Amino acid sequence: MEQDNALIDQARAAIDQGIVLAQDWLLSPAAWSQFGLLIVAYLLARVVNAKLTPRLERFLKPDAESNSILSQARRFILQFLPLILPLLAYGFTAVGEIVTRSIFGSGAVIAFGKRVFLFLAARALARDIIKDPFLRTLAKFVLVPATALYALGFFDQVIETLGNTSVSLGNISFSALAILRGIVAGSLLFWLGQWSNSQSAAYIEQQPMRPAIRQLVVKVTEFSIFGIAFLLLMNIMGISLSSLAIIGGAVGVGLGFGLQKIASNFISGVILLVEGQATVGDYVELDGGEAGTIIKMTARATFLETFDGRWIVVPNEDFITTRVVNYSDSGSANRYEVDFSVSYDTDINKIPAIIEAAVAKHPEVLTEPEAPDCELRGFGDSGIDFAVEFWVNGIDDGKNKYTSDVLFFVWNALKDNGIEIPYPHRVVEIKGNMPT
């Protein structure tokens, strides 16, 4: 209640001071001279801006097709051309302030005008230049109000009031200014960290290294960037890092017992990235029956996508503690086989050559490490059983379906050579007299 009354009294005093100041300005020849200098400074700024801006635009504007670093830098600078007018007015007004103070011994009016031009520059920055939604919001609700308070002369009083207003959280007390400063600085730091992380990740993705190592470098860079941002934020808020270390140690011991699985999965993820035994794009199958293509690897888990479009989230620890079958292994060949049967009336000595030649015509079937191989597997109840083995680059499911294609080749080859594919025969024996 007392703080509210103090704020009201300060506001009333500021209003009374403003009224007295306005009366002095209206009745003072020095004030009218400063008003004149403000108008002259603004008009001069407009003339210089009209001459300077088109030339700078022609000089800085790069070719539309160019994407070099220099062209990107020139495009970046071009965004700030709307600031030229208010900044020129600010500079000319500053020169006018020096003149009026040397002649009249005061420059309150022209100093106020100079601060107004600075406010107009901040508003132009927030309205016309900043494109990022987060930065535009920050400029709109923090930068513009701060420059408005500075222009009106209330900035120092507001800062002092916020500094004297405390907020308690248990035994810890913060000033409202420290909290506000932490929110603004934290938002900027973590936005900058996110931007830096995306830029560094894009750069790392272009480097010639193993996918697993690339993922590890991206994660280490990400943790480093946000770790540095967090430490800077603690320093800006005035929190002692030694106290933070003590608190962090105590919290770490408590979390260590409750988050053992998370820590285990995190370490397992690092091992996976370093060893590269499985990486994004590989088709894997675990002992538990989970199978799919790895589409994403995070610090805690690995995401598999099955051929029917479902996602399976597998903890990283399972890749370390259980047996994993990697069918892809960075694009290595895989062997498959299809079974078929022929009639007992067939000359089976001709079968291997016919089938091997037919399967070899498939565009995806390889000759290395081994060409198609047709083998006799046994004598069944209804026919003679064969199997043909073949090698392909890829997984036999989803969009590939090599087995289906090869079965078509086998069927057509047998039909073209007049070879019968058997079907089950059953002999029915009827005891006793036949029914009439």
Residue whose entry in the numeric block shows the structure tokens 């565009």: 363
Q: How far apart are CA 201 and CA 221, in angstroms?
A: 8
- Tokens for 23, please give them: 């009366």
- Tokens for 246, please give them: 């003590």
Please tell me which of 28-37, 41-50, 187-196, 232-241 the model is most confident about, judged by mean pLDDT: 41-50
Task: Write the pLDDT tens digit of every residue in 18-52.
Answer: 565 555 555 555 666 677 777 888 888 888 888 88
Plot region of 70 (φ>0 → left; ψ -120 to 50 → alpha; else → beta):
alpha
- Whether this model's pTM surpasses 0.75: no
State residue 95's pLDDT score: 81
The dihedral through the CA atoms of 365, 368, 369, 371 has a sign that is positive
Residue whose entry in the numeric block shows the structure tokens 């998370």: 262
Residue 374's beta-bridge partner residues?
Answer: 388
Question: For residue 147, how many other CB atoms are within 10 A of its CB?
Answer: 22
| More confident of the two residues 319 and 29 | 319
Q: What is the mean pLDDT of the chain?
A: 77
State residue 243's pLDDT score: 56
Q: How far apart are CA 433 and CA 405, in angstroms?
A: 51
The DSSP 8-state label assigned to residue 348 in this structure reads: G
Q: How far apart are CA 43 and CA 268, in angstroms?
A: 67
- Place 251 in a pLDDT band, splitting at 50, 70 and 90: low
Whether 386 shows a pLDDT value over 90: the answer reads yes
Read off the pLDDT of each residue in 234-251 and give the average, rounded to a whole number.
62
Q: How far apart are CA 18 and CA 16, in angstroms?
A: 5
Read off the pLDDT of each residue in 396-419 and give the average, rounded to a whole number.
85
Distance of CA 252 to the CA centre of its chain: 28
Structural domains for the chain: 2-164 (no CATH), 178-258 (no CATH), 279-326 (2.30.30.60), 334-416 (3.30.70.100)
State residue 387's pLDDT score: 92
Cβ(304)–Cβ(293) below 8 Å? yes
State residue 411's pLDDT score: 92
Residue 297's beta-bridge partner residues?
Answer: 302
Q: How far apart are CA 24 and CA 31, in angstroms?
A: 8
State residue 374's pLDDT score: 92
Q: How far apart are CA 205 and CA 336, in angstroms?
A: 34
State residue 22's pLDDT score: 56
Read off the pLDDT of each residue in 87-115 and give the average, rounded to a whole number.
77
Cβ(202)–Cβ(194) below 8 Å? no
Determine which helix (DSSP H) or strand (DSSP E) holds 195, and give its type and residue range: helix 176-205
State residue 408's pLDDT score: 92
Instruction: Name the 3-class secondary structure at 314.
Output: strand
- φ and ψ at 398, to 5 degrees? 60, -125
State residue 413's pLDDT score: 92
Helical pair 241-258 and 260-275, crossing angle rounded to 10 deg: 90
Comparing 20-34, 163-177, 336-350, 398-412, the range with the smallest average pLDDT is 20-34
Task: Write the pLDDT tens digit of every residue in 255-310.
Answer: 555 566 677 777 777 777 777 677 777 788 888 778 888 888 777 788 888 877 78
Whether 205 shows a pLDDT value over 70: the answer reads yes
Read off the pLDDT of each residue in 3-28 and give the average, rounded to a whole number.
58
Read off the pLDDT of each residue in 86-96 and give the average, rounded to a whole number.
83
- Place 142 in a pLDDT band, splitting at 50, 70 and 90: confident
Which residues contact residue 34 at a Cβ distance below 8 angstroms, ignoring those fewer than 6 apart?
96, 100, 104, 107, 108, 109, 110, 113
Which residues contact residue 162 at a Cβ distance below 8 angstroms, ignoring those fewer than 6 apart?
175, 176, 177, 180
Cβ(216)–Cβ(270) below 8 Å? yes
Q: CA of 139: how far to CAs of 33, 148, 160, 281, in Å?
A: 34, 12, 22, 42
Q: How far apart are CA 34 and CA 96, in angstroms?
A: 8
- Place 240 in a pLDDT band, splitting at 50, 70 and 90: low
| More confident of the two residues 245 and 316 | 316
Distance of CA 376 to the CA centre of its chain: 55
Query: Quick check: bond before 62 cis, omega within 30?
Result: no
Kindly provide the b/e burial profile for residues 384-405, where b requires at least 16 CB atoms within 10 angstroms of the residue's own CB.
bbbbbbbbbebbbbeeeebeeb
- Place 188 in a pLDDT band, splitting at 50, 70 and 90: confident
Read off the pLDDT of each residue in 350-363 and give the average, rounded to a whole number.
90
Which residues contact residue 219 at a Cβ distance below 8 angstroms, ignoring those fewer than 6 apart?
273, 299
Task: Determine whether 202 is exposed, middle or buried from the number of CB atoms within 10 Å of its CB (0-12, 13-18, 19+).
Answer: exposed
